[in-house]
Amino acid sequence: METRKRNIFISSARTGALGLALVSLAACNSGETTTATPTSGGSAGNTSALVFVNNTGDKTLTSVALKGDSGNSVVNTIEAAEFENAALGDMQVSKEDWVFVNLAAANKVATIDPLTAATPVHEANLGTGTRPVHLYRDRNDGEVIWIMNDGDNAAGTTTPGDDLINCAASGGGSVTVAHNSHLGPGGSPPTVLGTTCVLADGHKVAAFAENKRVFVSSETAGEIAVLDGDETSTNYRKMIARIDLCKTSKESTLPTPATCNPEDATGTTAFTPNNAAPHGIRWSTLTKKVYSIQEGYGEIAEIDPATLAITKTFDLAGTPYTSYGISPDGKYLLLRGETTAP
């Protein structure tokens, strides 16, 4: 039997004082759970629950069958050549159990059918934009996957953050959308519906509101793009608005402040970049609002998905918190910070 060398990773706390905080979000009614549960697709092939392991050392993907307290075993390993020898990034499972894996260096997303055959099968690598980093399952339609293209990061580049494949003319990163085509494992592989340029540079994260609007923040630009996520709309996947996060009162306290200019929310030119540095965005099932943390400002903004207005802010000045999550019931923002350097 061939012996495969893999890196072993152990999770542990860093040396230093870690802080946690709760921000309670009040509302008059509760919403549905934010936790997405993948459905099981029927097939004559693999029927065990599977875990997929990203082997960062050799860029392969191993599937492990989970059968309880005992009997768990490796099912198979998909070799690096199938992924064009690119490092594997974020993984996501769609409603019909297709597995999507970002291949940032190849500017593609891999699609894997885990159930039809006796072992998971690599189907195709689909073209995205430049350097896909994060990908998300649409909370309103689990067959849809939204892929965040962070753009060019080559050493010495003159186009940092630009999707050079789809948005070279306009500049900025982009969002690619893939769909199962309503077919489960064994059917045709998923397809790319298209890519939307968002006119903004920087690392991208997304949140999905109940009204089928998709909020995509761009860290370097300091703004949020709002895309139409309603598949029945004539504006589906189009950028319908942008939210400028620039705040003069925060910029004035920084060593190199940006100027907060009036911006056209529906315009087709880039906004003036600012130092807000949004990096973390969540939607609450309780308040029905979107929450974006601006790490550059030390502030969380509450956004109304209907009006796109910033309705409330939480000032984190003097605290160590820079990232956060949200409880499944949408009631609490969970903040994480570090008070001493590791």
Residue 76 lies in a domain: no
Question: Rounded to whole angstroms, how far apart are CA atoms 170 and 270?
Answer: 8
Q: What is the DSSP letter of 329?
A: T
Q: Is the C-alpha dihedral spanning 269, 274, 277, 282 positive or negative? A: negative
Judge contact between 337 and 322, C-beta under 8 A: yes
Residue 197 lies in a domain: yes
Q: What does the pLDDT read at residue 334?
A: 93
Q: What is the DSSP letter of 168?
A: T
Question: Rounded to whole angstroms, how far apart are CA atoms 84 and 107?
Answer: 10
Question: Rounded to whole angstroms, how far apart are CA atoms 173 and 296?
Answer: 20
pLDDT band for 43, please (50, 70, 90 cuts): very low
Judge contact between 241 and 267, C-beta under 8 A: no
- Identify the CATH number of the domain in which residue 230 sits: 2.130.10
H/E stretch holding 179 reads strand 174-179
Question: Rounded to whole angstroms, how far apart are CA atoms 89 and 65?
Answer: 21
Question: Rounded to whole angstroms, how far apart are CA atoms 30 and 45?
Answer: 40
Q: Phi and psi (nearest 5°) for 214? A: -110, 125
Query: Quick one: what percent of the chain has pLDDT higher than 70?
Result: 84
Comparing 341 with 131, which gets the higher pLDDT? 131
Judge contact between 207 and 234, C-beta under 8 A: no
pLDDT at 13 over 70: no
Q: Phi and psi (nearest 5°) for 105? A: -70, -25
Residue 171 lies in a domain: yes
Owning domain of residue 291: 18-44+123-338
Residue 50 lies in a domain: no
Beta bridge partners of residue 303, listed in sequence order: 290, 310
Judge contact between 264 and 282, C-beta under 8 A: no
Tell me how many domains the chain contains.
1
pLDDT at 15 over 60: no
Q: Flag the least confident range among 11-15, 133-137, 141-145, 147-151.
A: 11-15
pLDDT digits (tens, 9 = 90+) for 273-318: 999 999 999 999 999 999 999 999 999 999 999 999 999 999 999 8
Residue 185 lies in a domain: yes
**One-character DSSP codes across 232-243:** TSTTTT-EEEEE
Residue 240 lies in a domain: yes
Residue 7 lies in a domain: no
pTM above 0.95, yes or no: no
Residue 250 lies in a domain: yes
Judge contact between 245 and 301, C-beta under 8 A: yes
Judge contact between 5 and 57, C-beta under 8 A: yes
